Amino acid sequence: MSTEKSPIIEAITCFLVEAKEKGEHCVKVQEIVDNFQNDIVSDCRVADVISVKASWIRNISRAAESLGLTVASANNFSCLCDKAKVSWKSIERLSKDTHNATSSNQNTNIRPEQEANASASPTPAPAPSSSSALASPTPAPSSSSLPSSSNSLPSLKTEISPGDKANLQHGFAAFKRKHQNDFWILNATRERARDQNIEPLSVEEKVMDFALSCEFYHPSQSLIVDLGDSNWLRVFTEEELDELREAGDDMDFSAPKELEQNFQEILKLKDSTELFNYARSIPIVDPSKETLKVWLSIELQNIAQLFLETGSFDVSTMMETDQLHLVFGFLSSVVRRSDIVVKGTEGSSEANADALNNDRQLSSVKPIAKRKMGRRGDLIFESGKLELGCTEIGAAKDQTKEMRDSLLKLPIVLRDMLLLATFSPSLLHKCHVVGYSISGGSVSLMDVDIPKGFVTRVRRTEQLDFPENNKTLMTRILPLLNLACVGKKIMEKTLDITSSTMRPLSLSSPGKNHWCLPPNFVPSPKSPQKRQRTD
């Protein structure tokens, strides 16, 4: 047996890590079964239900044991399999429905392989209309009856099928026919094409060519260019990447004028005691108007207290929730007494939920699909129905979790937020949303916009570390506080622009959630035959 964890055990472990960081020390098997319902039903398509139950219980037990967690109130394996402890009724029902639907499909003499080949054929059914998604994956039989496991984390190894690629290609072709004149061609690309005597490719075409070359789920399939993703180094030249980075609005990293003098004075302080006393003495004439000075005074005292006893502080010793609120609380508290509110902890994005449920239909030939929940964020910044940003945090330095949250999950969720904000053509190249990616005591700000054309761009600041001792306290805390002010400034600018823009009147179009841009790509369900098993 391989010592490497299977994808399922990895997914369960991630689920349990979040629960453990919230203070839960006992694994609730029923919650895991409900959360991974789709995966369990998929397993039932290739094995009997009893074997699948036993396999999943073993995987849950292994994941819990690796984290030092106890499993429910059970003390042995047989107790865990007891139906009185865990209900499998919905699994059994859905497995039966899927089996019946598959049998019905086989009775029509259509083999799954033939369907896949048809989807991947260069001349399939008519391409979708230009208003449709880049890809609308062909659902598996009876997929409408399967509830979405939208709470589970995105997978770094989610494969996309030939049918997915065909749908992506046809959807983009339709989008290109309608909007090609507005595609974004970089000056560096034009110059290179002129030297080679060829037609220049737009950013949109380059991104989609890369998306179609991918064998796994990647943000490029939703026309997202994350400049923090090293994959783009082999798609764009250095000159093109510089142009992508510099296009549109510059990121203003200057300190707020209201705090410039305070920042200069803080740099002269020697230790946490001086910082604490300085924070208490900041002159504030009108607290209702000098909101940033009030924020600075409060947060400096909170931060200084962490260092008062020993002169040093190790952020890695704190749980995820404590880090979010006690250490990096200034990232969210900076918007207090503004029109922006913070939703947490682990609130779900309504923008992402609306996008996921956009194709939900009234029961007709098939029953209505269960409403899917939006991706959860550790914190979500919003104003009314408008979502302006979110935060993801990992208590320890975990590269895999950081890549999943920061490079895969956040760009997708933030694009949904951006689509919700750009409800008018005049807003398409003006709105920005932000994300904070925190991992192991370091934080990076993500600025997400559409500078030109139709590609969503993600720019990231270099990671900033939280101070470790009195020697690094002043030099490290000031950039972090300034970063919070930069994020607030970006969100408030978007809020000002959208608040002064009248929403245009238009006819409702079922299945369409943006006046121009397609929704995020969602891969079709993974074939269960490809899953690696360790039991």
3-state secondary structure of 432: strand
Q: Report which of 425, 354, 424 is spatially closest to residue 387, judged by C-alpha positions.
A: 354
pLDDT band, residue 51 (cuts 50/70/90): confident
Q: What is the pLDDT, as a whole number, of residue 63?
A: 80
Q: Is the pLDDT of residue 503 over 70?
A: yes
List b or e across 378-395, with b for residues whose CB sees 16 or more CB atoms inside 10 angstroms: bbbbbbeebbbbbbbbbb
pLDDT digits (tens, 9 = 90+) for 306-361: 999 999 999 988 988 899 999 999 999 999 999 999 987 555 556 565 656 666 77
pLDDT of residue 173: 95
DSSP string of 11-53, one letter each residue: HHHHHHHHHHHTT--EE-HHHHHHHTHHHHHHHHTTS-HHHHH
Tokens matching residue 506: 């238009």
Per-residue model confidence (pLDDT) at position 357: 67
pLDDT tens, position by position, 369-414:
776 655 566 899 999 999 999 999 988 888 888 899 999 999 999 9
**Predicted local confidence at residue 294, as pLDDT:** 97
Separation in Å, CA 106 to CA 141, 307, 344, 372, 524: 11, 68, 47, 29, 20
Q: In whole angstroms, give the CA distance from residue 171 to residue 314.
A: 50
Q: Looking at residues 69-85, what average pLDDT do you find?
A: 49
Q: Which two tokens stand for residue 376?
A: 């959860």
pLDDT tier for residue 149 given thresholds of 50, 70 and 90: very low
- What pLDDT shows up at residue 75? 39
Supply the pLDDT for residue 62: 81
292 backbone dihedrals φ, ψ, rounded to 5°: -70, -35
Per-residue confidence (pLDDT) for residue 127, from 0 to 100: 38
Q: Please tell me which of 46-50, 336-340, 484-488 the model is most confident about, judged by mean pLDDT.
A: 484-488
The pTM (predicted TM-score) of the whole model is 0.69
Quick one: pLDDT at residue 91?
Answer: 74
Residue 234 pLDDT exceeds 50: yes
Alpha carbon distance 161, 172 (integer Å) = 17
Distance CA 481, CA 488 (A): 11
Task: Give dist(CA 417, CA 431) in Å, integer.
Answer: 10
Q: Kindly report, residue by residue over 4-24, the tens digit of the pLDDT.
A: 556 777 778 877 877 777 677
Residue 502 has pLDDT above 60, yes or no: yes
pLDDT exceeds cutoff 80 at 27? no
Q: How many residues does the chain have?
A: 535
pLDDT at 131: 36
Mean pLDDT computed over every residue of the chain: 81
Each residue of 159-195: pLDDT tens digit?
999 999 999 999 999 999 999 999 999 999 999 999 9
What DSSP element (H or E) covers 85? none
The answer to whether the beta carbons of residues 158 and 526 sit under 8 Å apart is yes
